[in-house]
Structures are given as C-alpha cells and as structure tokens.
Amino acid sequence: MTEPDSPDAHAQSVLGPLTRAAVFLVATVDPGGEATVADALSGLAGLVRSVGSRVPTATLNCVAAIGSAAWDRLFDGPRPAELHVLPEFVGAVHRAPSTPGDLLFHIRAERLDVAFEFAKHLTRSLAGAVTVIEEIHGFTLFDERDLIGFVDGTENPVGPDRVAAALVDGADPGFRGGSYVIAQKYQHDLDGWDGLPVGEQERAIGRSKLDNIEMADDVKPSNSHIALNVIEEPDGTQRQILRHNMAFGAVGEKEFGTFFIGYAASPTVTELMLNHMFIGEPVGNYDRLLDFSTAVSGGLFFAPPAAFLAAPPTLDPAPSDAAAADSGESGPGDDGLSAGAASSLGIGSLKQ
C-alpha cells in the first residue's frame, strides 16, 4: 500500500508495470498555444478515466512530461531544480543527439487500440496548439525481449528501490513525486546484428541470450552494454533508473528499433549512463551495442506530480483588446481584432 506521505502518493502513473503496448508522442508547443496546452494537461486524468473505462482490463495510463524550453512558457512560479535541455553526447565514433521536444506523452495499455484511442482524443484536445514531431507505436515482444533478441529491463529496481530510483523526494520538495524522463529513439541494424555469432552478441550485451543470465564481472567485457550502464557511488551503492523501453518497427521500411524511456529522481544518473555509452568509460571504451544501434532522437523532460497537472500554475494571460479599450488604450488594428484574439478562437488543425 502506498504511504500517504511517500513520493508515490503524489506521482503520475510512473511506477506502473510494463504493458503490452504503448504510444509515445513528442510535440512542440506552437506560438500562442500555451493556454490550450495547459488546459489539456489539467484534463488529462479525466480523459484517461473516460477512455479507460471502456476497456478496464486494458489498464490505460498516461504520463505527461514537459521539456525545459516549454516550462516557463506554460507555468508560473518555480521550475524543477534539475530540468534543462538534454546535452548531446559526442564520442569518437557515435553520437547521441539532442532534438526538439516540449511535451512527451507516454501512453500505456495492455491493448494498442485503447492506447491509440486515447492518443486520438488527446491530440484533438491539443489541435492548433502543438506540432507532433515524433509518434511511436510500441509493443512488447514475446517474453519482454527487444528486437535484438535479449530481455530488456532486467535491471529495473523493485519494491521501495523503484520509488527511490524514479521519483523526486526531499531534494526538491516543491516537486515531490515528479520524475525526470529521458527519451530516445534507437534504430537497429538487424542485418548486421543477426550476422554476429550468438557468443559475440552476448559479449556486446554482457548477458546470455537464451536464459538471460548476466556474465560474471571477470568475464564481462568492459565495453558491454551492461558494464557501462552500472553506475555506482564510491561506497558501492548502485544508482538506478526505471526503464519502460518498447520495441517498434515498420517491416516494409526495414525500420527496427527501441524507444528508450528512463525515469529517474535525478537526470544526472541517466546522463552519466549515456556518457559512458557514447564517450566511453574510460574515454574511447564506448558501448559495443552502438555499432548496431543508432540514436536518432533524444530529449529530457520532467513529469510533474499529479496534483500539479490537475491545477497547473498557469501564467497570467496578456490583457485582451476589450480590457485595453475599457482602459482607454488603443488596440492593434482599426477593426479591434488582434492576432491574439484571432488565435483564441482555436481555429486551426494539429500539424503532424
């Protein structure tokens, strides 16, 4: 049971289990779209209930997160202490890009049709206010394996460690229960990967492929994916994140990939993992998996507590022309209709 004073009691559905399907939407906020976005965010929980009630067994949920560039456009007051634009990680061979993104919606359900239905209604509520720049329909492959054939998410924390790893607690009490989210799209060279002997694949991952057993430390290569993603404090304490990665693809276009999404109480943990993967630990000892998996997008977002979204501290709107007329001030045009007033009519369509 969740304790009333625990970070979990304040959080969005960050800690929910991995589902069979997910839809990921990344969007930018159009100029003048801020009020529409804030209104849609405040109605998110109600929309989840409305759509989810149609198929309760689908366990529909949605986590909304906001990027650094959009935060001050949408909300008044303080901002999360560690929210910033994701830096690029540029190594000698591979690069993790930082790409635009003001909003991230992580829609989870046991059925893709339910997640899709929710995404449809969500984007309608945002019509004319945002531009969707990335849409991924993810799925769980067989026994929670990635398209490269290995089980994904084995190192996820469990129990109380799950809360400590993913949710902000006392370090930033104004945002207790929030979570920093790093999302990246990776595309796999499956022909090249499948051409490797299984033993070489296992050395690249650091784990056996069939039975999912991690290699012993004295056998595991230092450039294996697992070795470079284990972050330990000087006292030996392991710092963890919560992953909700999903496979995606388009067979006709030979696109096969993983949408990585990692929730953390601090973005420094995930960023250090990316530094180790792309730049190397030590420098030059980069993640062998990157020779077959290319990062094509990436962003850092903050998923605020549920109560924050329900009643976001929105910015005061600019004075309307009617108010200006009442005060004796002249409007921007002879007809008294400003560009801001025209945009407030909500005319426009969602740009894909």
| Secondary structure (3-state) at 239 | strand
* 237 vs 69: which has the higher pLDDT: 69
Q: Rounded mean pLDDT of the chain?
A: 89
**For residue 330, pLDDT beyond 90:** no
Domain segments of the chain as ranges: 13-317
Average pLDDT over residues 197-202: 98
Q: Residue 61 pLDDT > 50, yes or no?
A: yes
Please give the share of the chain, as a percent, with pLDDT higher than 70.
88
pLDDT tens digits, residue range 220-239?
999 999 999 999 888 888 89
Q: List all residues 6 or more positions away from 110 whose beta carbon is below 8 Å from its beta carbon.
A: 19, 20, 21, 57, 58, 59
Closest CA to 303 of 63, 116, 76: 63
Q: What is the pLDDT of residue 324?
A: 42
Q: What count of Cα atoms within 13 Å lies in the side-chain half-sphere of residue 338?
A: 15
Q: What pLDDT shows up at residue 276?
A: 98
Report the chain's terminal Cα–Cα distance, integer Å. 41
Q: Which residues contact 311 (CB under 8 A, 6 or more apart)?
A: 42
Tally DSSP H helices, then E strands, for the chain: 12, 13
Say whether pLDDT at 343 is over 90: no
Annotated active-site residue 189? The verdict is no
Tokens encoding 311 = 């009643």
pLDDT in tens, 259-301: 999 999 999 999 999 999 999 999 999 999 999 999 999 999 9
- Tally Cβ neighbours within 10 Å of residue 346: 11
> Which of 8, 102, 152, 287 is an active site residue?
152
pTM of the model: 0.88
Which of 155, 106, 100, 114 minimizes the C-alpha distance to 297?
A: 100
Q: Dig out the tokens for 172 from the structure.
A: 């930033």
In 279-348, which ranges are continuous DSSP H helix? Answer: 306-310, 321-326, 339-343
pLDDT at 126 over 70: yes
Question: CA-CA distance, 12 to 107, in Å (whole number)?
Answer: 12
Grouping H, G, I as helix, E, B as strand and the rest as coil, residue 25 is strand
pLDDT score recorded for residue 329:
43
| CB neighbours of residue 219 within 10 Å | 10
**What is the per-residue pLDDT across 133-167, written as a single tens digit (0 to 9) for each?**
999 999 999 888 999 999 998 889 999 999 999 99
What are the structure tokens assigned to 255, written together? 């696109």
